[in-house]
Amino acid sequence: MSGQHPSIKEGWFTELSDEHFPGQGFSLQVEQVLHHSRSEFQDVLVFKSTNFGNVLVLDGIIQCAERDEFAYQEMISHVPLFAHGNPKNVLVIGGGDGGVIREVVKHDCVEKVTLVEIDKTVIDLSQQFLPSMACALNHPKVHINLCDGFQFLRDVALAAIDERYDVIITDSSDPEGPAEAFFQKEYFELLKAALNPGGIVIAQASENFWLNIDYLQGLMNIAHSVFQKANYCYTTVPTYTSGQLGLIICSDDSRLDLTRPQRHPSQQEQDILKYYNPEIHHASFILPTWADRLINGRNDGI
């Protein structure tokens, strides 16, 4: 079913959230509404924008746009994958649009990727309207589980799923609706329990330091209370409110320096990447002085 969306007025989509970024919004000009429906879990909108290609919106919040999605997909994928010495088994929670999967399978060392997505509607619509992102969902290394990510991790912890992972990527929506549980301490504890020794977790932090640094401090406190190592980095994505999105990367291996890659892309691998490189890997952890003090609680550099 297609139709007009309440966030579209006079040809402009506007993203507003009084809870997460009060007093500001973000707008894109709409060329055509491609799809609007209510799935079992959330409001789903896909529209063609005049300048950023097709855009996926869940519960009124932009998830990705064709023009700039690679900046997010590459950083949330390659920062943990290159920080790990030899990732073979990868778990992706959320990310039914397929963008993270597309990036993960670029690593020859990865033998298996498990995608856990609660809403099949997101997968179906991404394959229809975001084919450049969903292009690897049928890759032979990829296994798709249509279920709740939180319950999936509980099953791993209870050994109902006898598997552990080298890298876990939490590509969730913002902490509202079905994704709210992904930002609680219990979730971080379940992530830790699902890792192999030396494993790495990365999660989109929803906010960045321009929007709600107090919230980030709380998330970092949770991460530090669960993992031996926890660091904050960020990527720049114009279609995310304020143009920046934070990522929290964690490991229980205190010897790991998550801020620098253990492996470097080959020239062939680097040639197909648009955003990630070893220099930006490290640079993404370097924060402005005021933000570093508040998020990391220190006055020195990285």
Q: Which residues are catalytic?
A: 171
User: DSSP class of residue 159?
Assistant: T
Number of Cβ within 10 Å of residue 288's Cβ equals 10
Amino acid letter for position 173: S
Number of Cβ within 10 Å of residue 111's Cβ equals 12
- List all residues 6 or more positions away from 24 whose beta carbon is below 8 Å from its beta carbon: 241, 242
What's the CA gap between 122 and 116, in Å, rounded?
A: 12
| Six token digits for residue 164 | 């552990």
Instruction: Look at strands 8-9 and 89-94 and give their pairing.
Output: unpaired
What's the CA gap between 58 and 39, in Å, rounded?
A: 10
CB of 136 within 8 A of CB of 102? Answer: yes
User: Helices 213-226 and 185-193, interaxial angle, to 10°?
Assistant: 40
Torsion angle defined by CA atoms of residues 19, 123, 27 and 49, in that order, rounded to the nearest 10 degrees: 180
